[in-house]
Structure 1
């Protein structure tokens, strides 16, 4: 999970200072020492750490904190502000050319996920911005790269421009843009060749493509799990190509976060997107402030709402609200809701977006285990259609049959039935409270 190690360490560090009614200079020194160690362990560039700690210390022992009524909370605000600035300050939006098409060059080393990210970016532009991209296969040295991009194009139902492995990459890119104009495509995304390391031949070719097509964006794709190596690669590409932004892949698997926290300071180029999984819809615009909030355990409600709005059918949500209000909510509806929540991503990641929920994950009674959700699904699917519609008919013998069919115990079946009844009552109360408060177009979030 992204930043897990760093987040745990920072949250335990700042917890010591949060509730203090008075913060001394010694308190600040102790906190910044812990923060420095946490960042270095997360593989953040040591020069970046030094500068960040100096800024935090300067602000934390300044008037804005010492004269505050809640100095502990002010210190946390300082840390959050500085982490946000470290990652770029505010979201850097994707370019839109004055005259269509907007041209994006994807560059990077082999193995970073460049071709897959090209497909993800095209999918993001279509779904989030209602654009019509053209994918361009310019990696002529690795036949599998062309085939991979064409496969992605088929999956996305999106055109891929290719001239095979014999053509010159500059010619391919040039003709692709002409084709995009003819077909009224508003974005051209060029998947260029990579190497196992930065070399002169690679850079010469990329420079030639850049000079010919004059891209509006040059996105460097780097594997965030390589930590400081990713930062070094970004620095090399930026020096020679003057990139416009970075796309971090595998951020969901990077428990340290050193690349995400170092790249902006080292290259002075923003992180534009982050890959949060292998699926083609798991590419997110990078929001520095939201990421800083997640790292410090403050949640990320805006991203959570965006995920919900993307994955939830509005008509279904309104039907569900009516069922809640009339107490006609069934186990079939419950299963449907579980499916929608699962589409939004791993449960741990969703919990990180809810303010304060991170603190609950360590508690024995907190049930955020994906395995337990699977058991709940198995229990419901072992019920007959009538039992799912009318749980009140589930007597002792039926409970034994359901437990056997789902590979669970009667106690687990009993617990689910009890929780389901309590949840129905709670939902009715909540929807009655909300009734009349919400205007048209209100949004129902699909948590069980």
Structure 2
């Protein structure tokens, strides 16, 4: 998301930096390009107009005109205004009050509401909560079965809903289930429609009246652009939304929904779905997103991901093994698994400052399948073979290739690359105290 907008803004600011001094004329030219870039990104027309007016008012002031780096000052203002447009600061979930806290998921069909309910259950469990999933979408019986499968996969209890029952009664009875099981969070997966209609809204209003949810979260598809904003407006008028969950932001959405929803509805984006896996749900940080739009990366989010994915004790043990040149294929496989917890390589690159500007980086598509093949090859080895790759002869290589669904040449390539990597680690470790920084770098890798 935001790729096209980021490119357009980067080109505009590059031209702006070409001027030693800025005048109202060349600032006006740059902001005209910014406005066009926003409109192309499917940002609401009035939102784009107000945004540019706000930037212009600040950019033609003394703060910019007398600055030694006026172009950079303009970029700073644009970043601050972008962050403000999306809400300024992250707004967390309301989990305060007498348990069970009720979180009501609403939205149209196809936005990913049921999957998001499962992702939210996983997130709450990671925060020390004990959630209960409630299938209240009797319009679509498959949604009930889907939620039960997600619950089983996550180890989260699911209320036993009757496909022929009344959604309001199902939600009320779920309170008793939560009390009996000791659950302190209730996630209601309510019905959706292909479009907004009166029966749907009336049903949701009755659920709200009966359960008084602390959170009413609209699940909206980022790919639908301004339609998502219109849907948010309609739901907010009837239900009083507390937040929005934007799904499919990892796709090629132009970003208009993320940039417009808060300004048009006043409802904050609280969470974003960044992939299909159940751990691909993240808090939305407007300030960090503004940095990513302007090609400044999002190092804070990357650090947080790494802190949650990598175990400190394992990292320290690995550092010791690397220092002694005892790093084996079992360690390598463990590192692959921990890195994959961070998400796709493409998403990781997107968080690095300036990565999009590096030559060739834009068109580089990291081969996730290749990483999967490497892991499969190592997993097809015996513990002894992973510890001592040198014992893997021709017959063993043939067996490993057959077990992992690859060719013997693929196995040979992996073993050759691993041997070369170990030689490099040994050379670095010989540098001793003079190169402690390199050792720490290798350990972190």
C-alpha distance 195-332 of structure 1, shift in aligned 2 (>3 A): same
After TM superposition, give the deviation of residue 280 of structure 1 in Å.
Answer: 0.7
Following the alignment from structure 2 to structure 1, what is the Cα–Cα distance between the partners of residues 362 and 418?
A: 18
Higher mean alpha-carbon deviation, 237-246 vs 23-32, is at 23-32
Q: Deviations over 1:284-312 (max 9, x none)?
A: 11111111111111111111112112222
Q: Could you say what secondary structure the match of 1:180 adopts?
A: helix
Once the 2 structures are TM-superposed, how far is the Cα of residue 367 of structure 1 from its aligned partner? Answer: 8.9
Equivalent of residue 164 in structure 2, options 154, 166, 174 = 166
Cα distance in 2 for residues equivalent to 1:298 and 1:287: 14
Q: Deviations over 1:175-208 (max 9, x none)?
A: 2123323433111111111111000000000011
Which residue is equivalent to 1:125?
124
The residue that corresponds to 2:408 in the other structure is 405
1:117-160 deviations in Å (ceiling 9; x for gaps): 11110111111x11101111111121111111111111111111
Q: 1:445 to 1:39 in 2, by over 3 A?
A: farther
- 1:393 Cα deviation (Å)? 11
- 1:60 counterpart residue number: 59
Any residues of structure 2 matched to 1:348-363 within 5 Å, and which? Answer: 348-360=346-358, 362=360
Q: Secondary structure at the match of 1:185?
A: coil
Counterparts in 2 of 1:159 and 1:324: CA distance versus 1, 3 Å: same
**1-structure distance, mates of 2:429, 2:56:** 47
Conserved in 1, the CA contact under 8 Å of 2:322 and 2:425? Answer: no
Q: Secondary structure at the match of 2:250?
A: helix
Relative to the length of structure 2, the TM-score reads 0.86
Is 1:33 aligned to 2:36, yes or no? Answer: no
Instruction: Report the CA distance shift for 1:343/1:180 in structure 2 as closer, same or farther (over 3 A).
Output: same
Q: State the 1:172 CA deviation.
A: 1.4
2:10 aligns to what? Answer: 11
Instruction: Give the Cα–Cα distance (whole angstroms) in 2 for the partners of residues 237 and 200 of structure 1.
Output: 11
Aligned to 1:258: 256
Please give the per-residue CA displacement for 1:315-359, whole angstroms capped at 9, x wherever unaligned.
221111112333433454334323321231111110111122222
Name the TM-score, length of structure 1 as normaliser: 0.86
Deviation digits for residues 51-98 of structure 1 (CA, Å, limit 9, x no counterpart): 111111111221222222322221111111111111111001100232
Matched, 1:319 2:322: no
Aligned counterpart in structure 2 of residue 157 of structure 1, from 144, 151, 155: 155
Equivalenced residues, count: 436
Change (3 A) 1:429 1:368: farther
RMSD: 3.5
Q: What residue number does 2:45 align with?
A: 46
Instruction: Using the TM superposition, name which of 34-43 and 419-428 deviates more.
Output: 419-428
